């Protein structure tokens, strides 16, 4: 697996053998970042169920101020640490507070919901949350939607992107979040949500 574009373009990332992790395909990552475009620059990007860290690394490569990697699987967390070290990406704490220097990463070895709750409690404000839960965990997308639809973790111009099975129907509305777009590739879909802005 390689970084697609930006500062770390063409640099190789390690992945785990077997089915322990299901990394997003290069094509899907390219589609995702083509849609997000220059908005990624100077953003805080949260990569839930981060696996190899490829999505969060891609965000840093394209100019994100910081990426927060959330991975509860011990082998996955160790893999992210190795990938960050191989690229010379510095790690810090409280990336969501923007008090760290540009291009910094934070690794949270936590369950996705625990991590979101901690970030919200710490007063973090982020532009992007990307979540790619195991397809067998159909409840995960709904829990993330419900939490972010009620919290202030996402900035008003922020976006939540959920990667899920194409046949896993997600709601149009969840609290203050509205689905703006869905992109399908093969068996997989990306659902894009944004806060509903008051008139």
Task: Quickly count: other Cβ atoms within 10 Å of residue 186's Cβ.
Answer: 9
Instruction: Flag whether 15 is in a domain.
Output: no
Would you state the pLDDT for residue 18?
Answer: 56
Q: Which pLDDT band holds residue 25 (cuts at 50, 70, 90)? A: confident
Q: Is residue 147 scored above 80 in pLDDT?
A: yes
Distance between CA 3 and CA 26 in Å, rounded? Answer: 8
Instruction: Flag whether 142 is in a domain.
Output: yes
Q: Which domain holds residue 181?
A: 26-195
Total domains in the chain come to 1
Closest listed residue to residue 161, CA positions, set 188, 129, 186 = 129
DSSP-derived secondary structure letter, 98: T
Mean pLDDT of the chain: 91
The CATH code of the domain that includes 47 is: 3.40.50.150
Q: Provide, rounded to the nearest whole percent, the portion of the chain with pLDDT above 90.
A: 78
Q: CA distances (Å), 86 to each of 45, 66, 83, 129, in order?
A: 20, 17, 5, 24
Task: Quickly count: other Cβ atoms within 10 Å of residue 4's Cβ.
Answer: 19
Entry pTM: 0.93
Distance between CA 96 and CA 178 in Å, rounded? Answer: 23
Instruction: Flag whether 158 is in a domain.
Output: yes
């Amino acid at each position: 697996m390689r970084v697609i574009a930006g500062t770390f373009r063409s640099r190789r990332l390690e992945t785990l053998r077997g089915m322990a992790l299901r990394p997003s395909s290069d094509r899907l990552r390219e589609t995702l970042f083509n849609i997000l475009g220059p908005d990624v620059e100077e953003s805080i990007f949260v990569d839930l169920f981060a696996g190899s860290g490829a999505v969060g690394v891609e965000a840093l490569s394209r100019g994100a101020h910081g990426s927060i990697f959330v991975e509860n699987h011990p082998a996955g967390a160790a893999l992210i640490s190795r990938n960050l070290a191989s690229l010379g990406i510095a790690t810090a704490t409280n990336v969501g507070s923007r008090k760290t220097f540009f291009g910094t990463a934070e690794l949270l070895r936590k369950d996705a919901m625990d991590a979101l709750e901690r970030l919200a409690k710490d007063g973090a404000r982020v532009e992007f949350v990307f979540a790619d839960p195991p397809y067998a965990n159909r409840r995960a997308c709904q829990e993330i939607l419900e939490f972010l639809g009620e919290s202030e973790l996402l900035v008003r111009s922020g976006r939540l992107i959920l990667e899920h099975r194409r046949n896993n129907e997600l709601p149009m509305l969840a609290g203050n979040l509205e689905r703006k777009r869905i992109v399908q590739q093969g068996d997989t879909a990306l659902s894009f949500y944004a806060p509903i802005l008051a008139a």
